[in-house]
């Protein structure tokens, strides 16, 4: 009887051990399988205030690991048809490193020529790159913009070593007079180690409106001095938690950051790689040889003039199909109707009107001559 009881007890212990094994390991979350279906999923992942016992210098070093340098390059044409290339730089913050992707928040004016002072009437190509603290330069695979036209952008970078990078934690626990730290890359920075760190206090918290859509978002005013070029950098509390994105300067004493939580409340949109976002829509890039009309459609230059007109169908038995017999007994292309044509030898039909050909450059849709490089 003693031996039988011992055997039963042993089997009970083994069974309990097996159940505990499956319960414990089955409850662990496999973070590598996380699927983010919305922007709020990212914020849920990074939200959560850090509690650490690091000193001030150590906290700044931890903050720096999340900061990246952003480079934006564009090629296009100005409104007069002249070709240009331009570039700009700014700052971004790594906020997620899941699924072999880095997610970086920055300002829209850092990565969109229409949102800053670059004259980019017609876009031909754009490129965005991000340099991380290890010196690597990453190509941005996707850029998303706020539908509310708020000065925010989300950069997505696909990289197999995303897990190796530190990301910032967010907190919404901040108040007026709290100490804050601002970090960013000034425009004079030429390499990854030259960035600025400033300290100050929150002086005000305000709700503001998007002028174009009327959507509300919150901004933090502080006396932290941020250099020009630090746009898109982070505003952190004294524990190293992210609370805002440095966006603009009011006067000489006030820096303004968009409350990080405003991103969570807004929906974002991105376009295919061969197109760009503007005024709530996606538009295709034009080739260098093409010109763009007022609706942002791209057209080819043909026969030394810009053609954006439909030729009326005509039928005269003495002329080839599509031509009209003129008073000079020659066959002409119609212009505006089946009986109207451009009689002058040096004129062309554009938008159903006759215009003299240009001695230099190309005929534009408004009838003026403009040069293209």
What's the 3-state SS for the chain?
A: CHHHHHHHHHHHHHHHHHHHHHHHHHCCCCHHHCCCCCHHHHHHHHECCCCCCCCHHHHHHHHHCCEEEEEEEEEEECCCCCEEEEEEEEEEEEEECCCCEEEEEECHHHHCHHHCCCCCCEEEEEEEEEECCCCCEEECCEEEEECCCCCCEEEEEECCCHHHCCCCCECCCCCCCCEEEEEECCCCCCCCCCCEEEEEEEEEEEEEECCCCCCEEEEEEECCCCCCCCCCCEEEECCCCEEEEEEEEECCCEEEEEECHHHHHCCEEECCCCEEEECCEEEECCCCCEEECCCCCEEEEECCEECCCCCCCCCCCCCCCCCEECCCCCEECECCCCCCECCCCCEEEECCEEEECCCCCEECCCCCEECCC
Tell me: the pLDDT tens digits for 137-196?
Answer: 999 999 999 888 888 999 999 999 999 999 999 888 899 999 999 888 876 545 544 678
All structural domains of the chain with their residue ranges: 39-270, 303-370
Distances in Å between the Cα of 91 and the Cα atoms of 109, 132, 228 are: 11, 11, 11
Tell me: the pLDDT tens digits for 282-337?
Answer: 999 999 888 888 888 888 776 445 555 444 444 556 676 777 777 666 777 777 77
Alpha carbons 248 and 278: distance in angstroms, whole number:
21
Q: By C-alpha distance, which of 110, 158, 112 is closest to 138? A: 158
Alpha carbons 261 and 205: distance in angstroms, whole number:
13
pLDDT of 37: 33
pLDDT of 120: 85
pLDDT of 361: 67
Count CB atoms within 10 A of the CB of residue 156.
15
Q: By C-alpha distance, which of 238, 233, 220 is closest to 176? A: 220
Report whether CATH 2.40.10.120 matches the domain 39-270: yes
Q: What's the token pair of residue 196?
A: 């600025």
Q: Are 49 and 67 in contact (CB under 8 A)?
A: no
**% of the chain residues with pLDDT over 90:** 29
Tell me: the pLDDT tens digits for 245-296?
Answer: 988 877 667 888 888 777 654 578 899 989 999 888 899 999 988 888 888 8
pTM reported for the whole predicted model? 0.69
Q: What's the token pair of residue 22?
A: 């499956």
Q: Which residue has 């007069």 as its token pair?
A: 80
Task: For the chain, give the mean pLDDT.
Answer: 76
Q: Are 366 and 323 in contact (CB under 8 A)?
A: no
Tell me: the pLDDT tens digits for 14-72?
Answer: 665 555 554 444 433 332 333 333 344 445 455 555 556 678 888 999 999 999 999 99
Alpha carbons 43 and 33: distance in angstroms, whole number:
17
Alpha carbons 3 and 331: distance in angstroms, whole number:
116
Contacts of 221 (CB under 8 A, 6+ apart): 202, 203, 204, 205, 206, 250, 254, 255, 256
pLDDT of 144: 92
Mean pLDDT of 220-245: 83
């Amino acid at each position: 009887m003693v031996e039988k009881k011992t055997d039963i007890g042993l089997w009970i212990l083994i069974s309990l051990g097996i159940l505990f094994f499956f319960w414990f390991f089955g409850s662990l979350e496999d973070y590598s399988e996380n699927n983010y279906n919305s922007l709020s999923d990212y914020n849920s992942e990074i939200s959560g205030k850090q509690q650490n016992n690091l000193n001030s210098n150590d906290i700044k070093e931890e903050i720096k690991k999340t900061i990246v340098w952003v480079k934006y390059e564009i090629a296009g044409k100005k409104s007069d048809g002249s070709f240009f290339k331009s570039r700009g730089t700014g700052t971004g913050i790594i906020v997620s490193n899941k699924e072999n992707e880095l997610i970086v928040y920055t300002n829209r004016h850092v990565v969109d020529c229409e949102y800053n002072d670059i004259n980019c009437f017609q876009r031909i190509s754009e490129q965005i790159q991000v340099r991380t603290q290890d010196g690597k330069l990453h190509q941005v695979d996707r850029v998303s913009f706020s539908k509310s036209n708020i000065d925010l952008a989300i950069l997505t970078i696909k990289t197999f070593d995303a897990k190796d990078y530190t990301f910032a934690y967010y907190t919404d626990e901040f108040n007026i007079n709290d100490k804050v730290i601002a970090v960013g890359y000034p425009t004079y920075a030429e390499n990854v180690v030259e960035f600025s760190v400033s300290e100050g206090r929150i002086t005000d918290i305000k709700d503001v409106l998007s002028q174009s859509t009327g959507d509300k978002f919150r901004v933090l005013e502080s006396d932290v001095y941020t250099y020009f070029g630090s746009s898109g950098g982070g505003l952190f509390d004294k524990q190293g938690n992210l609370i805002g994105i440095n966006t603009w300067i009011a006067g000489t004493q006030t820096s303004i950051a968009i409350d990080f939580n405003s991103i969570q409340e807004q929906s974002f949109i991105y376009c295919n790689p061969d197109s760009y976002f503007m005024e709530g829509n996606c538009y295709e890039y034009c080739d260098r040889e093409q010109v763009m009309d007022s609706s942002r459609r791209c057209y080819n230059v043909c026969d030394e003039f810009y053609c954006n007109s439909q030729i009326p169908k005509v039928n005269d038995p003495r002329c080839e199909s599509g031509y009209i017999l003129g008073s000079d007994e020659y066959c002409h292309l119609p212009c505006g109707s089946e009986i109207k044509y451009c009689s002058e030898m040096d004129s062309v039909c554009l938008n159903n009107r006759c215009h003299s050909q240009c001695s230099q450059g190309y005929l534009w849709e408004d009838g003026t001559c403009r040069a293209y490089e």
